[in-house]
A and B are shown apart, each in its own frame.
Chain A
Amino acid sequence: MRTEWLLTFAPIIGLGTNCLTHILCRKVLGLRTGPTLVCGFLLGLVIMAVAVAVNVPAAISTADLAGLWATLGLTYVALAFGFWAFLNLNMTSLRIRMLRELLHSEHGMSRAELFGRYSAEEFLRRRLARLERSGDLALVDGRYSLGSHKLLYVDRCMRILRAVIFAGTEHKQDG
């Protein structure tokens, strides 16, 4: 009975490890965000896999064993992705940035004040710097071109999903 529940919570144990590793890497070791995310994900995955391997029942068919690993593995990947997306929102989301600016203002902010704290130039400069750093954009002789097609494929997937979900509605289709 106990092993069955340990199996059930293995992905959550993996996520906990992922979060703790992130805190340790950033606060104690002072690592950069990218390597920290990779370390957290991998260590969480290993801990989850060990928890599953140790507690998996001996008398289980191959199909059920495959199903169990797939369920728990996908659950961990979904939880880890959710954690990454949560952190990523803090780093890149305009809306979260505005909410946090408003949180720290005592009497709210006017549109001009919000734009003063986070201008359109800063918005563009931060994104171009991030895209250049990640190799998604290349700057050669003062001209930008695509450094990698990875994000372009992501954008196309999002466009397809947007078209499926909002087809026949008044939602703006081109984003």
Chain B
Amino acid sequence: MTELLAGIGLLFLSFCAQLVFWRIFVPGRQIRALLGIFFLVPLVVFGVVQLTGAPIALAALSAAETARLAIFYGSCALTYIVLFSAIEEQSPTLAIISYVAEKSQCTGADLVARFGKGHELSHRIELLVRSEFVRHEGDRYRLAPPGDRLAKLFDAANRLFGIESGG
């Protein structure tokens, strides 16, 4: 039970740290900042527990229990970080659903007028440049090293898991 409560507590603290940080300054590379926050918060908490010698159950966990806590915390934190890309920017699919719900009914022409102009594509290119995954050189876009690594990872996953190419 200690691992579960400690894990939930650490997740809550990390989320609060994000809220505070975002109020002060919204980072340009939000995913990287989130990874930093969710990595540092438990280290700070464990450091404080060790330094102060606080007599809390967290200090009495065995190695296996600590690993269980780390895996629980890490997997939930990564889930949140993956979800965050959909929080940061509304996904185009959800935008279509939201638009149809707002209009109650609409024709294909309405949807083309709203979503068929390429604004979503342009916005995504800008986000890739802002996140430094892509470089804009002259009139051409090229992969920056982090973008190259990410593209290769997804390309390999596409082949390994037999996923149809999407977008």
Contacts and interface: CB of A to CB of B under 8 A. Distances in A.
A64 to B, nearest CB: 5
Interface residues of A, number: 89
A132 to B, nearest CB: 11
Interface in B120-156: 120-122, 124-125, 127-128, 133-134, 137, 139-143, 147-148, 150-152, 154-155
Contacts of B65: 4, 8
A106 to B, nearest CB: 10
Interface string A66-86: 111011101100110110011
Contacts of A90: 154, 157-158, 161, 163, 165-166
Interface residues of B, number: 82
Interface string A17-29: 0010011001100
Interface of A: 1, 4-5, 7-9, 11-12, 19, 22-23, 26-27, 33, 63-64, 66-68, 70-72, 74-75, 78-79, 81-82, 85-87, 89-100, 102-103, 107-111, 114-115, 118-124, 126-128, 130-131, 136-137, 142-146, 149, 151-152, 154-155, 158-159, 161-162, 164-166, 168-171, 174-175
